[in-house]
Chains A and B, each alone.
Chain A
C-alpha cells in the first residue's frame, strides 16, 4: 500500500533520514497554518473555530512528510496508526486509500483529528519536530476524516466485518473507549450491542466537548459508520440500574462485557459556598449546553444560567471548554482561576491560546478559599494568592499559599473544572469485580477485570485522561476479549 520504495532508502541506522526515492521529494515549505475563524466573531457563536485545511493545503502539508524509512511518529500514536502510509497515499492523491489506512487503526478519524493532543504524541515524535515544524499529522487526519464523511455513504470507508463468530458482546458506554472497542470487536466477527445511559451516543464527545471544537454531527456521523458495521446501539439503558452486568451475562445472553462508562462524578473544591446558585460543575454546565443545547433555549427546553462575570476554576481542557462556552453564552468577563501558572496547566497549548484570543482572562497562582453569596446566589470568590514551591509527585512545582494575601474576585457564576471521580453505580451492583481505593475498576494491561469475561477501559480504569488513550484501551481490550471468546468457544 505504501508508495515508498524502502530499498532505495538510506542504510539502517539512518532511519530518521528522508527516504531517497524518485517519486517523493519532501517539500521544504513551512508548516501549513490551520485556517481559523476570527476570535471576536467566533466567541459569539457555537460554530467550529478551526475550519480545516482545503485540499490544496492538505496536499501541500502532506508533501512536507519525509516518508522516513523507520518512522518514529507511529510510536507516538496510542493506537499506532500507520501515519507514514496514510500520508504517503495522500501525497499520491489516493484519499480513499489514505482513509482506509487510517481506519485500519482508528474508527473515528474526524473526531481524533480534532481533539487528540498530537503535539504530545505523533507530532512530537516527527523527525521534523526538532525544528519545531513537525508535519501537521492531526490536521491531515482531520482532513481525511472529513473527506470520508463528505462522501456518499457507499463511497465511505466502512471497515470490513469479520466472519460471524456466534459470540455476543455487550459494551457499556458509547464514549471513545466503547466505540473503539465495539468497532474492533465487529472486525473480529463478534456481535456487539452498545448500551448508552443517555439519549445520545458519543459519551464525553457529545456531552463534554463543545460544538465549536467538535461538531456533534461529526460525532454522530462517525458513530453512524459503526452502526453501518452492524453494531447495535441501545440508548436510555443504565447498566447498574436497568440491567446489572450479571444480568447481561446470564439473562440477556452476552458472552462478554466491556465496561467503558467513563469517569462519572464531578469533583468539587470542598469550600464554603459551593452549593450556592450560580455554582456549576463543568460537567453540568457543559452537559446543559452541549448535550441539551441550552444555548438554543427556549427552542430547546433546557435552560442554563448565563452569568455576566464567570470564574472557571481549573487549568485543564475542560476548564478551557467551560470558559470559552461561558464567553459564547454572553459573559462580559470570564476568568480562569488556576493555582499554578500557565506553564503547569494540563490543557493543550492550542486550547489555552484559543481561550486567550477569545478574551478569557487568566488569573494564575490563585486558589479559591470560599465562594461568597447573597440571597442564595454567588457574588464572588475569596482566593488565596499562591507561589510555586518544590516539585510534587506529579513533577510540577507545588503551589504554596502566601499568607495574608487573600483577595476577592467579583463574579456571579463559578464553574468548577477539577476533574471527576468514579461513578459508584456499576461497582455497587457488581460486587465480584475488583475496584481500587478510589473507586476505579482494576484491570490487567489488556483490560481484563477480576471478573471472568468482563473487561474495562478508559476513564473508569485510569481516571480522567484523553479521548485517544480511552480508544487505545478499548481496542486493546477488544483484542484480549477476542482471544478470551475464542478460548471460551473451545
Chain B
C-alpha cells in the first residue's frame, strides 16, 4: 500500500496528491509517469509526475476529476492509501541544450509543464512558460511557476479573467515569429497540443509533445497506448510519452482516447449512485 501524504484541491475539479513512495521518488525525472490503482477493483491509470522529493520519499501528481477513478481519488485524504503505485515509467523529457525554449501547459497538463520547465531551467536553458486555462479559477501552479528561474510566465484564459484573453497558441505564435525561441514543448489536452504543433510547424520551430493515450500496464506489455508517429506505430509507454509533435497523428490519438467513453459514463453513474458520502 502507498500512503497518501498530501492532498490539496487546486480548483473546482483539479486536485494535487502526494504519495509516500521512496523508491520511485529516488528515480523520478521530469516528463516521466506513474501507474496507479486505487483498490482491488480499480483500473490502472497513468499520471505524470508533477513533483517529487527523493530526500523525503514522496511523489506528487495532479489530476482532473473526470471519471469514476478520478472522482474516487478526489475523495481520498491524507492517511488513506493507494493499493498500487508503479514507476517511474516512460522516457524522461529531453532537457539538455535546447537553448531558448517555450513550455506550454494547458489544463492539468500545466502540472507536468511545471517539473519540465524547472528541469529545463536548471539545465541552463532560457525558458518561457505559457499556461492556459478556461478561467482564473481553473488556473493552477501560478505561484510555483513564478518561483522558478524562468524568463517569463505568460498566462492565457479563455475569458480573460486572468492574464491575456487568448488561446495559448497566440503567444506561442508571437514567440516563434519574433525568433525568440529555438524550441518548444506542449503538454495538455490532445486538441491543444495539436494546435501548438500546427502553429510551430508553420513557423519551423520544433515542438515536442507529451502524449496521454490510454494505458493498461504502462510497461510495454499491452499496446493499448500505440500511436502513429512519422507513419510508424509507437508505444506511448515505452517509446514516449514525449514525441516529435510535428510527426504525431493527433486525429488517431483523439479517436483512440474516446474508445471507452460510454463505459466511463456508465462507471461514473454507478459510482455516484452508490456513493452518497460526497455530493
Set of chain A residues within 8 Å of B24, measured between Cβ atoms: 242
Closest beta carbon of chain A to B248's beta carbon, Å: 12
A421: nearest chain-B partner, CB-CB: B220
Check A303/B37 contact, CB under 8 A, given A197-B86, A264-B220, A265-B223: no
Query: How long is the Cα–Cα vector from A265 to B252 in the complex, in angstroms?
Result: 21
A-B contact list, 25 entries, CB within 8 Å: A199-B44, A207-B221, A236-B84, A236-B85, A237-B86, A238-B89, A241-B27, A241-B87, A242-B24, A242-B86, A265-B220, A274-B233, A275-B256, A277-B256, A292-B44, A292-B216, A293-B41, A297-B263, A298-B266, A299-B41, A301-B43, A301-B69, A301-B267, A303-B264, A376-B255
Which of A58-66, A282-290, A325-333, A389-397 participates in binding chain B? A282-290
* Central interface residue in B84, B223, B255, by most chain A CB within 10 Å: B223
Contact of B252 among A241, A275, A300 (CB under 8 A): A275
Interface size on A, residues (CB 8 A): 38
Instruction: Given A275-B233, A292-B44, A301-B41, decide whether A425 and B220 contact each other with a Cβ distance below 8 A.
Output: yes
In the complex, number of A-B residue pairs with CB atoms less than 8 Å apart? 115
Residues of chain B touching chain A, judged by Cβ–Cβ distance below 8 Å, are 23-24, 27, 37, 41-44, 68-69, 83-89, 216-217, 219-224, 226-228, 233, 235, 238, 252, 255-256, 258-260, 263-264, 266-267, 270
Tell me whether A281 is interfacial, beta carbon within 8 Å: yes
CA distance A298 to B252 in the complex (A): 26
Q: Is A128 engaged at the interface, CB distance under 8 Å to the other chain?
A: no
Distance to closest chain B CB from A25 (angstroms)? 52
Which residues of the other chain, A, contact B226 by a CB distance below 8 angstroms?
Answer: 268, 275
Interface string of A29-64 (1 = CB under 8 A from B): 000000000000000000000000000000000000
Q: Which residue of chain A has its CB nearest to the CB of B235?
A: A265
Q: Are B266 and A301 in contact (CB under 8 A)?
A: no
Q: Which secondary structure characterizes the binding site on chain B?
A: mixed
With contact pairs A242-B24, A297-B267 given, residues A283 and B86 touching in the complex (Cβ less than 8 Å): no
Given A265-B223, A275-B227, A300-B41, residue A238 in contact with residue B87 (CB < 8 A): yes
Closest to A252 in B: B23
In the assembled complex, A430 has its CB within 8 A of some CB on chain B: no
Across the interface, B223 reaches (CB within 8 A) one of A243, A277, A281, namely A281
Instruction: Take A277-B255, A297-B267 as given contacts and tell me if A423 and B221 are in contact as well, using a CB distance cutoff of 8 Å.
Output: yes
Cα(A264)–Cα(B263), bound, Å: 28
Contact yes or no, B41 A266, CB < 8 A: no
Chain A residues whose C-beta falls within 8 Å of the C-beta of B221 in the assembled complex: 207, 264-266, 283, 287, 423
Q: Assess whether A424 is interfacial by the CB under 8 Å rule.
A: yes
The interface residues of chain A lying within 8 Å CB-to-CB of B220 are 264-265, 423-425
> Interface 1/0s, chain A 235-257, versus B by CB < 8 A?
11110011100000000000000
A268 and B223 form a contact (CB under 8 A): yes
- Closest-by-CB residue of A relative to B72 is A301
**A423 surroundings in chain B (CB, below 8 A):** 219-221, 238
Nearest residue, chain B, Cβ from A296: B41
Q: Are A199 and B84 in contact (CB under 8 A)?
A: yes
B252 CB → nearest A CB, Å: 6
Q: Which residue of A lies closest to B23 (CB)?
A: A242
Q: Which residues of B contact A301 (CB under 8 A)?
A: 41-43, 68-69, 267
- Find out whether the CB atom of A275 lies under 8 angstroms from the CB atom of B228: yes
Sample of 18 more A-B contacts, CB < 8 Å, known A301-B43, A305-B259: A197-B219, A198-B217, A199-B84, A207-B221, A238-B89, A241-B87, A265-B221, A265-B235, A277-B259, A284-B223, A296-B41, A297-B267, A298-B68, A303-B264, A303-B267, A376-B252, A376-B256, A423-B238
